[in-house]
Amino acid sequence: MRTTWPNDALAAISLTFDVDAETGWLGEDPAYAHRLSTLSEARFGITRGLPRILDLLTRHDIKATFYVPGHTAELHPEAIKRIAHEGHEIGHHGHMHLRSDAIDANAQKEEIERGFEALAPIATPIGYRSPSWELTPETLELLKQHGFTYDSSLMGDDRPYTLENGLLELPVHWSLDDWPHLHWKPGRGDAFTSPQAFLDTWIKEFESALRDRRHLTYTMHPEVIGRGYRVQLLDDLIAAVRERADVWFATHADVAAFVTS
Residues 60-99 interacting with Zn ion (rule: CB under 5 A)? none
Least CB distance to Zn ion at residue 132 (A): 6
Q: Does 20 bind Zn ion (CB under 5 A)?
A: yes
Least CB distance to Zn ion at residue 61 (A): 26
Q: Does 18 bind Zn ion (CB under 5 A)?
A: yes
Q: Which helix (H) or strand (E) holds 219?
A: strand 215-220
Least CB distance to Zn ion at residue 130 (A): 9
Least CB distance to Zn ion at residue 20 (A): 4
The residue among 45 and 195 lying less far from Zn ion, judged by its C-beta, is 45
Q: Does 223 bind Zn ion (CB under 5 A)?
A: no
Applying CB under 5 A, the site for Zn ion has a residue count of 3
Nearest residue to 50 (alpha-carbon basis) of 24, 80, 93: 80
Residues 182-201 interacting with Zn ion (rule: CB under 5 A)? none
Query: Which one of 6-14, 15-23, 43-51, 140-148 is the stretch in contact with Zn ion (CB under 5 A)?
Result: 15-23
The residue among 5 and 23 lying less far from Zn ion, judged by its C-beta, is 23
DSSP H helices in the chain: 21-28, 36-44, 50-60, 70-75, 77-85, 105-119, 137-145, 178-182, 195-212, 222-225, 228-244, 252-259
The residue among 27 and 160 lying less far from Zn ion, judged by its C-beta, is 27
Long-range contacts, stretch 203-208, CB < 8 angstroms, 24+ apart:
203/237, 203/240, 203/241, 205/175, 205/176, 206/11, 206/13, 206/237, 206/240, 206/241, 206/244, 207/244
First-to-final CA distance of the chain: 12
Residues 121-150 interacting with Zn ion (rule: CB under 5 A)? 131
Least CB distance to Zn ion at residue 182 (A): 15
Interacting residue ranges for Zn ion, rule: CB under 5 A? 18, 20, 131
